[in-house]
Amino acid sequence: MHMADALISPAVGGTMWAATAGLIAYSSKKVKEAMDDRKVPLMGVLGAFIFAAQMINFSIPATGSSGHLGGGMILAILLGPWSAFLVMASVLTVQALFFADGGLLALGCNIFNLGFFSCFVAYPLIYKKIVGDNPTQGKILTGSIIAAIAGLQLGAFGVVLETVFSGISDLPFRTFVFLMQPIHLAIGVVEGLVTAAVVTFVWKARPEIIDAAIFSKPIGQIDIKKVLAGLLIAAAISGGTLSWFASANPDGLEWAMFRTSGKEELESHEKVHASLAGVQEKTAILPDYGFKKTEPEAGSGEDLKPSWPAVDAGTSAAGLAGGAMTLLMAVLIGWALRKRSAK
Amino acid sequence: MTSQGFSDVGYIDTIAAGDSPLHRIDPRAKLITTAAFIATVVSFNKYAVLGLVPFFSFPIILILLGRIPAGYILRKLLLILPFAILVGIFNPIFDRAIIYHIGPVGISGGWISFISILLRFVLTVTSALALVALTGFNSVCLALERFKVPSPFIVQLMFLYRYMFVLTEESERMVRARAVRSFSGRTMHFKTFVSLIGHLLLRTLDRAERVYRAMCCRGFNGDIRILRSLRISLKDIVFVIIWVVLFISFRFWDAPLKLGELVMGIFP
């Protein structure tokens, strides 16, 4: 469920980056305040453990597929939400940089979808409430499964919303939801079972580890209201700034707004949009909505969008030739620079 | 994730240890330029195809000038291409309005946006890989530290990277040990799986404790000190400015179309 840069609009990516950066800063502050030196290497090594554990797969009976540990929930159980969020964020960053698993702009979305929901929602509100202070095998099992399912359902829904708001994919909201949620219900059950089994295993072998995790409360309770308020402010600020950028591309957020409210844009953006759209229309060869208006009757001047240059075979041939030449030039320039630097 | 993937990570560090004019550019400059590149590429509207082509100059020049083995980047791309196709293939299915004609063949908007998604995918992935291959992970972390990313997160990134290889090897050994003892039973059952992961976790926790003690012996008092050796120079600033100006002009001035029209004008 790692999202790629290719499907994201700058407004959505930027907003999620801002939200995630805020969460990382706040979690870092909390971890620093806890002054638990022991946790510094523990967090690092547990992050590496997630990578190592993902290399071990088990076969799911009667399906032919295999499952492995996702990690968010087990980290929260062992480390508490703040540290677990930082570890999850670091794991996703390394995956994005080295495995091209999710893009750099999409990193904010991915950390939020996979880290925030399991660490700050599912763990404190579901797992902790069910397991409480004296764990039993049954409580760990139910707590892990319900929390893992809830975390993954919310994360999957986040993916759907971010993709639909970006407007690059044409998957309709409803179809996407019906695709994502059931798949992640199954993944959630597997993740919950694995988490419960591993936690129970450790609890039986070395009960003091799980007990220590339960009773260490150096960081204090999570104030979920504070977190949500902070997120809302971050999203509002970055969304407001980035909507300038988005206005130049009436396909992103505005497309979603158009679908949901029937209004293409807020009135206040009208002027900015009109002027920026003018720039964009002059520069785009494949305008987004204008194509249906290439017939002569659509060339009415008083329309907000001026008529498009007619797309004919001549233009498309010119485009193809130009594109090929640009590529060739890029390669040639690269070679020339390389030759020069070799001297 | 396979073990092949992990030896690749080590390989990226080998490339990053090399020397070229691009390796010598300050990591901060490379980070900013790559971020500007990705932001510009994704800011195109969803039917943009031709407008994206000039942007290939950035990864191509990085790969050629930085002497990154192109075959390696291509192999990485091929590995993840199925995912790109999977996420894009819905567009031709849902967007069937014909918007473009090449001769008698009509092309639907969905196919155009599908191609656009593939181009975006190739551009963003190659530039991100090129960034790491020219900079190295630790230098990326140093750059992030200078950009005021909170230090606990930087320390976490560096620790993770340091122990990733150690623990991956450990888990590989465990999987191999199970495989040689299970004769023809190739599938791993849930119970075995849990036991393997559980032991791996116990070993990991013990290792964390040992690492902590070793750090204490060396004077660790809660602060991680990072050796800072970054110096920004004129050529780094010029590097950023040239690329950002190029990205902006590519974004707002459709070079391929103008070029093509010029050529078509000369050879009618």
B93 and B28 in one domain? yes
The pLDDT score that the predictor gives to residue A242 is 52
The pLDDT score that the predictor gives to residue B38 is 92
A178 close to B (CB below 8 A): no
The pLDDT score that the predictor gives to residue A89 is 93
Contact present, B230 and B28 (Cβ < 8 Å)? yes
User: A322 vs B263: CB contact, 8 Å cut-off?
Assistant: yes
Name residue, tokens 């150096």.
Answer: A218
B126 and B44 in one domain? yes
The pLDDT score that the predictor gives to residue A175 is 85
B155 and B80 in one domain? no
Contact present, A143 and A126 (Cβ < 8 Å)? yes
Q: Which of residues 196-215 of B touch A (CB under 8 A)?
A: 196-198, 200-202, 204-205, 207-209, 211-212, 215
Q: Which of residues 144-173 of A touch B (CB under 8 A)?
A: 167-172
B14 and B117 in one domain? yes
- Cα–Cα distance between A14 and B226 in angstroms, integer? 29
- Cα–Cα distance between B186 and A183 in angstroms, integer? 26
> pLDDT > 70: what percent of chain B?
93
B154 and B134 in one domain? no
Q: What is the 3-state secondary structure (H, E, C) of A140-191?
A: HHHHHHHHHHHHHHHHHHHHHHHHHHHCCCCCCHHHHHHHHHHHHHHHHHHH
Which H or E run contains A58? strand A58-59
Residue-wise pLDDT for A42-93, tens only, equals: 888 999 998 888 878 777 776 666 667 778 889 999 888 999 999 999 999 9
> How many residue pairs bridge chain A and chain B with CB atoms within 8 Å of each other?
375
- Cα–Cα distance between B111 and B30 in angstroms, integer? 34
- Cα–Cα distance between B89 and B111 in angstroms, integer? 8
List the single residue in A with minimal CA-CA distance to B65.
A338
Q: Which phi and psi angles does B26 have, rounded to 5°?
A: -60, 135
Residue-wise pLDDT for B136-160, tens only, equals: 888 888 899 888 888 889 989 988 9
Tell me which residue of A242, A235, A227 sits closest to A25, measured CA to CA.
A227
pTM value?
A: 0.77
B40 and B129 in one domain? yes
Q: What is the DSSP letter of A270?
A: H
Q: Which of A51-60, A227-236, B161-170, B224-233 has the highest mean pLDDT?
A: B161-170
pLDDT at A112 over 90: yes
B170 close to A (CB below 8 A): yes
User: A44 vs B117: CB contact, 8 Å cut-off?
Assistant: no
ipTM of the shown complex? 0.85
Instruction: Summarize the confidence of residues B15-22 as an average pLDDT.
Output: 85
Residue-wise pLDDT for A202-259, tens only, equals: 888 888 777 777 766 544 455 556 666 666 666 666 555 554 444 434 443 334 444 4
- Cα–Cα distance between A146 and A127 in angstroms, integer? 8
B89 close to A (CB below 8 A): no
Q: Is B36 exposed, middle or buried (0-12, 13-18, 19+ CB in 10 A)?
A: middle
Min Cα separation A19/chain B (Å) = 14
> pLDDT > 70: what percent of chain A?
64
A264, two tokens: 């293409």
What's the total number of domains in chain B? 2
β pairing state of B98-102 and B105-108: antiparallel
Q: What is the CATH number of domain A5-244?
A: 1.10.1760.20
Instruction: Summarize the confidence of residues B205-222 as an average pLDDT.
Output: 86
Dihedral angle at the C-alpha atoms of B152, B154, B159, B164, nearest 10 degrees?
130
A183 close to B (CB below 8 A): no
Q: Is residue B225 part of a domain?
A: no
The pLDDT score that the predictor gives to residue A319 is 63
User: Which of the residues A43, A57, A97 would you substitute to probe the B interface, choosing the one with the greatest number of B C-beta atoms within 10 Å?
Assistant: A97
B169 and B59 in one domain? no
Min Cα separation B20/chain A (Å) = 8
Q: Is residue B228 part of a domain?
A: no
Residue-wise pLDDT for B23-32, tens only, equals: 889 999 999 9
B117 and B104 in one domain? yes
- Cα–Cα distance between B195 and B120 in angstroms, integer? 42
B121 and B21 in one domain? yes
Chain A residues touching residue B150 (CB < 8 angstroms): 24-25, 28-29, 32
Q: What is the 3-state secondary structure (H, E, C) of chain B?
A: CCHHHHHHHHHHHHHHCCCCCCCCCCHHHHHHHHHHHHHHHHCCCCCCCHHHHHHHHHHHHHHHHCCCCHHHHHHHHHHHHHHHHHHHCHHHHHCCCEEEEECCEEEEHHHHHHHHHHHHHHHHHHHHHHHHHHHCHHHHHHHHHHCCCCHHHHHHHHHHHHHHHHHHHHHHHHHHHHHHHCCCCCCCCHHHHHHHHHHHHHHHHHHHHHHHHHHHHCCCCCCCCCCCCCCCCHHHHHHHHHHHHHHHHHHHCCHHHHHHHHHHHHCC
**Residue A129's CB: how many other CB atoms inside 10 A?**
12
Higher pLDDT, B90 or B60: B60
Q: Is residue B224 part of a domain?
A: no
Chain A residues touching residue B163 (CB < 8 angstroms): 44-45, 47-48
B125 and B11 in one domain? yes
A332 close to B (CB below 8 A): no
User: B150 vs A49: CB contact, 8 Å cut-off?
Assistant: no
B182 close to A (CB below 8 A): no
User: B259 vs A331: CB contact, 8 Å cut-off?
Assistant: no
Min Cα separation A338/chain B (Å) = 5
Chain B residues touching residue A316 (CB < 8 angstroms): 100, 102
CA distances from A109 to A84, B143, B149 (A): 17, 22, 18
User: A93 vs B157: CB contact, 8 Å cut-off?
Assistant: yes
User: B118 vs A24: CB contact, 8 Å cut-off?
Assistant: no
Which structural domain, as residue segments, surrounds residue B191? 150-217
User: A4 vs B100: CB contact, 8 Å cut-off?
Assistant: no
pLDDT category at B59 given cuts 50, 70, 90 is very high
What are the DSSP calls for A96-116, one per residue? HHHS--S-STTHHHHHIIIII
A98 close to B (CB below 8 A): yes
Backbone φ/ψ region at B102: left (φ over 0), alpha (ψ -120 to 50), beta? beta
pLDDT category at B123 given cuts 50, 70, 90 is very high
**Residue A293's CB: how many other CB atoms inside 10 A?**
17
Q: Which of residues 28-57 of A touch B (CB under 8 A)?
A: 28-29, 31-32, 35, 37-38, 40-49, 51-57
B207 and B99 in one domain? no
User: Which of the residues B96, B140, B153 would you substitute to probe the A interface, choosing the one with the greatest number of A C-beta atoms within 10 Å?
Assistant: B153
The pLDDT score that the predictor gives to residue A303 is 39
- Cα–Cα distance between B220 and A44 in angstroms, integer? 15
Q: Which phi and psi angles does B38 have, rounded to 5°?
A: -65, -40
pLDDT at B84 over 90: no
Tell me which residue of A81, A58, A80, A79 sits closest to A68, measured CA to CA.
A58
Instruction: Summarize the confidence of residues B233-245 as an average pLDDT.
Output: 91
B95 and B194 in one domain? no
Q: Which phi and psi angles does A319 have, rounded to 5°?
A: -60, -45
Q: Which of residues 6-65 of B touch A (CB under 8 A)?
A: 8-9, 12, 20-21, 34-35, 38-39, 41-51, 53-54, 56-57, 60-61, 63-65
Min Cα separation B229/chain A (Å) = 22
Cα-based angle A77, A81, A82 (whole degrees, multiple of 5): 140
Residue-wise pLDDT for A260-310, tens only, equals: 444 433 433 444 444 444 444 444 443 333 333 333 333 333 334 433 444
- Cα–Cα distance between A342 and B6 in angstroms, integer? 31
